[in-house]
Amino acid sequence: MPTYKAPVDDVMFLLSDVFHIDRYNNLPGFADATPDVVEAVLGEAAKFSEDVLAPLNRVGDKEGCRRHDDGSVTTPTGFKDAYRRLIEGGWMGASAPAEFGGQGLPIALTQSINEFISSANMAFGMYPGLTLGAAAAIFAHGSPEQKALYLPKLISGTWTGTMNLTEPQCGTDLGLVRTRAVPQPDGSYKITGTKIFISGGEHDLAENIVHLVLARIEGAPEGVKGISLFVVPKILPAKDGGVGTRNGVSCGSIEEKMGIHGNSTCVMNFDDATGWLVAEPNRGLQAMFVMMNEARLGVGVQGLALSEVAYQNAATYAKERLAGRALTGTKFKDKPADPIIVHPDVRRTLMAMRAFNEAARALVLWTALKSDVAHRSGDAKERQAADDHMGLLTPVIKGVLTDQGFANTVSAQQVFGGHGYIAEHGMEQFVRDARIAMIYEGANGIQALDLVGRKLPRDGGRALQAFFGEVSAYIKERAADASLAPFVKPLGQALGELQQATMWFMQNALGNPDNAGAGATDYMHLFGLVALGYMWCRIAEAANAKAAAGGNGAAERMAAKLATGRYFMDHMMPATATHLARIKAGAASMMALPAEAF
């Protein structure tokens, strides 16, 4: 059975020492989040994840969800009780606005809680995760009545939420959506169509399920310009706000799938179901984007979360498993062989996971703090800058953290040798569970295209220029600091390569857009390395300061941080040159063969 220990200390270090969360005290909700409160909240979330959710991870994988003849779905043993405890603990609404029953704590805190929950049990975490996404879309685009009706239910977790985009003929290209919406005299709509792969579409955890559905109003224009967003509850709300009569929405079947068996993936049939328009007609995709952006960050966190739990188990195993002797001579004479952690190749794997996890966690928190600014600051300029950052970094976090997160689960499995391939140690479940994060919420190839095609040129490149400006200024200001040179120098080189890649697109992609498409994934990963490298510089700077200040075990912990960061700079950062070379190779050889040749 795998084990899990939530990285509370690391989150505290990042929030307090690297990002100085106290500097945000002018934002609503932050002054209440004193270090003691933050530590207590994280500590409780850690306990809940470690003691309640982690033991259910294997159960959920083995049992999966079951659909019954009446269309109802039963979640695995223990999920219902865990969900009850989740909502009783108030975890659902930790960062939600107080006016709708939330606690208004920083979003940064919720992202850490999400990480803990996903590490412990990703399939379970998707039920509350999607619910909060639905709440965010209604908060941003719902009418005052819709907000009053749905938000308190979703934020308390009494009802859960889903997002219904995908249909059999379309997932990426939502312009092909066929689900129809027919206006009714009372202002509601009758929704008819089939959605597939709907996470948490049906289950037994909550008394109602609020489906957010993309559909086409009769007579709407073709393509994405004719798509509207509707709220379609499983059970129609009664006049008093409770549950009334059953709506025309049902689960036709649930998918058998590679991983996340504890989460129900449903075919949802809408048969003249009553729904209400959210936002303006034909503006559904824009409204759904709010939900998708939240969800994309959440999916990036899933990549990190599985990488973290897989790493923890691989590190423990590498200290116990005996095989061979260290190349530099026996290290454990009392044992018949040395533990495999003495071997550089095993170290390579462990260090790569660890160096990724610590920087990825920083990147998530940095961006989550921007999300707090974007949602809560009273200063319009600050809000815009934070929003730009989120727009730019969301595809990077989604794409890079899930690609690398999956790769890390495979690396962790490798550390176990054959024991990683069999089910007993739980490592193969991490691999299977992590795989979906690269696909849903926009496959990672689409994230890369979003970054290169939309986010770079948006507003005349304002977000990108701000990012380049911040990183270059940081490098310049620390140029004379010898203690940071092993971090700042490689970052400077990598930033230069990212700037060259950007310039190459400007010169070569306008004439031939395939050049942008061909290099997009490399660009996303190059960008990811620069962003993670920047995080390592900031972590290293904070670690130097903390080690100098002394205190309980600080020197040792910070020395480990610095060594991990050095590994990142020495062994992982050089990949930027390969990405740049591949970008500059362009589309020619990629597109040379005619389709029939494949």
Ligand X SMILES: Cc1cc2nc3c(=O)[nH]c(=O)nc-3n(C[C@H](O)[C@H](O)[C@H](O)COP(=O)(O)OP(=O)(O)OC[C@H]3O[C@@H](n4cnc5c(N)ncnc54)[C@H](O)[C@@H]3O)c2cc1C
The catalytic residue positions are 441
Stretch that binds ligand X, among 65-73, 163-171, 230-238, 376-384 (CB under 6 A): 163-171
List the one residue out of 153, 123, 158, 125 whose CA is nearest residue 138.
153
Q: Could you write out the DSSP letters of every residue in 241-270?
A: SSEEEEPSEEEEEE---SS-TTS-EEEEEE
265 binds ligand X (CB under 6 A): yes
Minimal CB distance to ligand X: which residue?
171
Three-state secondary structure call for residue 441: coil
Closest CB 82 distance from ligand X, rounded Å: 20
* Helix axes of 380-415 and 427-435: crossing angle, nearest 10 degrees: 140
Name the residue nearer to ligand X (CB basis): 399 or 492. 399
The nearer residue to ligand X, 13 or 440, going by C-beta atoms, is 440
Rg over CA atoms, the chain: 24
Residues 165-204 that bind ligand X (CB under 6 A): 165-166, 170-173, 197-199
Pick between residue 398 and residue 546 the one whose CB is nearest to ligand X. Answer: 398
DSSP symbol at 205: S
318 versus 449: smaller Cβ distance to ligand X:
449
- Angle CA 114–116–119, to nearest 5: 105
Exposed/middle/buried for residue 500 (C-beta within 10 Å: 0-12, 13-18, 19+): middle
| 3-state DSSP of 24-71 | HCCCCCCCCCCHHHHHHHHHHHHHHHHHHHHHHHHHHHHHCCEECCCC
- Output 261 or 425, the one with its CB closest to ligand X: 261
CB atoms within 10 A of CB 258: 12
DSSP state of 170: B
**Candidates 105-113, 158-166, 370-378, 531-539 — which segment interacts with ligand X by CB under 6 A?**
158-166
Provide, rounded to whole angstroms, the least separation between the CB of residue 569 and ligand X: 31
**Selected binder of ligand X within 440, 487, 504, 505 (CB under 6 A):** 440
| 263: amino acid identity, one letter | N
Which two tokens mark 412?
A: 């962790």
Residues 6+ apart with CB under 8 A from 574: 490
Q: How far is the CB of 148 from ligand X (least distance, A)?
A: 26
Q: Which of 108, 393, 446, 526 binds ligand X (CB under 6 A)?
A: 446
Minimum distance, C-beta of residue 196 to ligand X, in the bound complex (Å): 7
> Which residue from 163, 254, 314, 452 is in contact with ligand X, where contact means CB under 6 A?
163
Q: Decide whether 291 or 362 has the Cβ nearer to ligand X.
A: 291
Nearest CB to ligand X, comparing residues 10 and 428 = 428
- Contact track, ligand X, 448-477, x by CB under 6 A: -x----------------------------
**Are the beta carbons of 159 and 207 closer than 8 angstroms?**
yes
The CA angle 51-52-56, to the nearest 5 degrees, is 115
SS3 160: strand
Shortest Cβ distance from residue 528 to ligand X (Å)? 17
Q: Which stretch binds ligand X (CB under 6 A): 62-70, 157-165, 419-427, 570-578?
A: 157-165
C-alpha span between 427 and 316 (Å, rounded) = 13
Of positions 443, 466, 554, 590, contacts ligand X by CB under 6 A: 443
- Identify which of residues 453 and 496 has a Cβ nearer to ligand X in the complex: 453
- Cα 295 to Cα 135: distance, rounded to the nearest angstrom: 11
Smallest gap from residue 238 Cβ to ligand X (A): 27
Per CB under 6 A, the list member of 28, 445, 453, 457 interacting with ligand X is: 445
- Selected from 110, 111, 160, 164, the binder of ligand X by CB under 6 A is 164
| Site map 59..78 versus ligand X, x via CB under 6 A | --------------------
- Binding mask of the shown chain, residues 122 to 151, with x at each position contacting ligand X by CB under 6 A: ------------------------------
- Please answer whether residues 545 and 17 qualify as being in contact, where contact means their C-beta atoms are separated by less than 8 angstroms: yes
Q: How far is the CB of 90 from ligand X (least distance, A)?
A: 25
Number of residues that bind ligand X (CB under 6 A): 22
Site string for ligand X, 219-258 (x = CB under 6 A): --------------------------------------x-
Smallest gap from Cβ 433 to ligand X, in A, equals 10
Q: Minimum CB separation from ligand X for residue 442, in Å?
A: 6
Q: In angstroms, give the least distance from the CB of 260 to ligand X.
A: 6
Nearer Cβ to ligand X (162/367): 162
- Quote the DSSP letter at residue 454: I
Q: Is 196 helix (H, G, I), strand (E, B) or coil?
A: strand
Q: Name residue, tokens 């990426």.
A: 172
Reading the block at residue 51, the tokens are 């003691």
CA distances from 109 to 11, 24, 77, 152 (A): 9, 13, 29, 20
Listed ranges 286-294, 336-344, 396-404, 442-450: which one lies at the site for ligand X (CB under 6 A)? 442-450
List Cα–Cα distances, 15 to 104, 106, 279, 327, 372, in angstroms. 17, 11, 36, 40, 13
Residue with tokens 């310049």: 476
Task: Give whichever of 160 and 265 is closer to ligand X, judged by the CB atom.
Answer: 265
Q: How far apart are CA 263 and CA 387, in angstroms?
A: 31
> Residues with Cβ < 8 Å from 72, sequence gap 6 or more?
202, 204, 251
Distance in angstroms (rounded) separating the CA atoms of residues 14 and 466? 22
Q: How far is the CB of 299 from ligand X (least distance, A)?
A: 10
498-537 binders of ligand X (CB under 6 A):
none
Give 248 or 445: the residue with its C-beta nearer to ligand X. Answer: 445
Distance CA 595, CA 132 (A): 42
Angstrom distance (rounded) from CA 486 to CA 504: 28
Q: Which residues bind ligand X (CB under 6 A)?
A: 162-166, 170-173, 197-199, 257, 265, 436, 439-440, 442-443, 445-446, 449
